[in-house]
Structure 1
Amino acid sequence: MPVSSSVTSSMRHAVQGIWREAAKFGVVGALAFVVDHGGYNLLVFGLPGGARGGPMSASPVLASALATCAAALFSWAGNRYWTYRDRHREKVTRELALFLAANGVGLAITAGTVFASRHLLGLDSPLSDNTARVLGWVLATLFRFYAYRRYVFVAS
C-alpha cells in the first residue's frame, strides 16, 4: 500500500508541475503574440485614431520582421527568467541560439501547413488559410514546448 500511494503522489506532483509550466509557457506566448501583432500594427498603422500611418507604413514586410523579432526576444526573456528560471544554461548565447533554432522550426511548421493547404490541397480561401495557420500554430506551439523543455532550457 505505501508503494502505490508513493507512486500516486509522485505522479500527481509531476502532472501539477507540467501544468504549471504549460500555463506559464502559455502566458509568455500570449504576451509575445500581443507584442508581435501590436508592434506590427503600431509600426504600420500608427496609433488608433491617428490620421497618418505608422512610421513603417511603406515597409510592412520589414515591420512584420521587426515585430516578430521583438516578440521572439520577449518570449526568450519571459521563458528564461520566469517559465524555466531554474533550468537555464550558463552560456546565454548558446541558449539563445537554440531558442532561435527551435523558433525557426516552429515558423517552418506554421508555413508548412499553409503551403500544404495551398499547394497540395489546392485550397485558397481566407477560411482555409486561417485554418491552416491555426493548425500550424498549434503544432508549432507543441513542438516549441517540447524543444524548450528538452534542448533549450536545461540545467548546464
Structure 2
Amino acid sequence: MSRVSLASATRVGAFVVIGGIAFVVDALVFNGLAFWVTGRGPLYDQPLVAKTIAVVVASVVTYIGNRYWTFGKRRMRLRFSRYVVFAVLNLVAIGLQLGCLAFSRHVLGLEGPVPDNISGTLIGQTLATIFRYLTYDRLVFRDEAEGEPDIETKESAA
C-alpha cells in the first residue's frame, strides 16, 4: 500500500472514530432531552428541538476531533471563513437529520425511542456523516500548502 493511500485510509479511520464518538454524544443528548429516564423527557413533544441541540453539541466534538486528529497534519491558516463554512455545512447536515426525524414523526406517525433513534440518530446521522466527510475534506480542512503534498507525503519522501 502506498504512503498516500495509507494516509487516506488513516484519515478515513480517524474520521470514523470521531464520527462514532459524535454519534454517542448525539444519541445521549437527544435521548436525555426527549426520553430521559422515565420515557418522557423535557423535550419529548419537541423532538426536532432536542435533535438540534444534540447535533450542535456533537458538532463541537466533530470539529475538535477532525481538526486536530483527522486533518491535524494539514497546513491550514486560522481563518474566520473556515468556521463559517463549517457552520453552513453543519446546518445542511442538521437538516438531513431533522428531515429524517420529521418524516418519521410527522409523515409516518411513528413516535417513541425506537423509531426516533432509527430515523433521527441512525439513518439521519449516517447520511449527515457521509455528507460531512465529503465536504470537510474539500471545504473545511483543505490543505493550504499550495502545490505541496500533504505533510505525511513529504515526510515519507524524506
CA distance in 1, matches of 2:32, 2:123: 27
Query: Are the counterparts in 2 of residues 25 and 79 from structure 1 also a CA contact under 8 Å?
Result: yes
Which residue number in structure 1 is paired with residue 10 of structure 2?
20
Query: Are the counterparts in 1 of residues 104 and 119 from structure 2 also a CA contact under 8 Å?
Result: no
Higher RCO (C-alpha 8 Å, min separation 6): 2
Which residue number in structure 1 is paired with residue 149 of structure 2?
none
Identity %: 28
- Is the counterpart of residue 147 in structure 1 residue 135 in structure 2? yes
Deviations 1:77-136 (A, max 9, x none): 111111111226333532222112222223344556678899xxx977789994798555
Tell me the matched-pair count.
137
* Helix, strand or coil at the partner of 1:86: coil
- Is the counterpart of residue 85 in structure 1 residue 72 in structure 2? yes
Query: Are the counterparts in 2 of residues 80 and 88 from structure 1 also a CA contact under 8 Å?
Result: no
> Which is further off, 80-89 or 137-146?
137-146
Gaps of 5+ in 2: 145-158
Aligned-partner residue type, residue 99 of structure 1:
F
CA distance in 2, matches of 1:117, 1:67: 18
- Is the counterpart of residue 38 in structure 1 residue 28 in structure 2? yes
- Looking at CA atoms only, which structure, 1 or 2, has the larger radius of gyration? 1
CA distance in 1, matches of 2:132, 2:10: 16
Alpha-carbon RMSD: 3.7
The verdict on how the C-alpha distance between 1:52 and 1:17 changes in structure 2, with shifts beyond 3 A counting, is closer
Which residue number in structure 2 is paired with residue 3 of structure 1?
none
Matches within 5 A, 1:7-156: 12-46=2-36, 57-60=41-44, 61=46, 62-87=49-74, 89-110=76-97, 130=118, 137-156=125-144
Gaps of 5+ in 1: 1-8
The verdict on how the C-alpha distance between 1:140 and 1:70 changes in structure 2, with shifts beyond 3 A counting, is closer
Aligned-partner residue type, residue 8 of structure 2:
I
Report the structure, 1 or 2, having the larger helix content. 1
TM-score (norm 2): 0.63
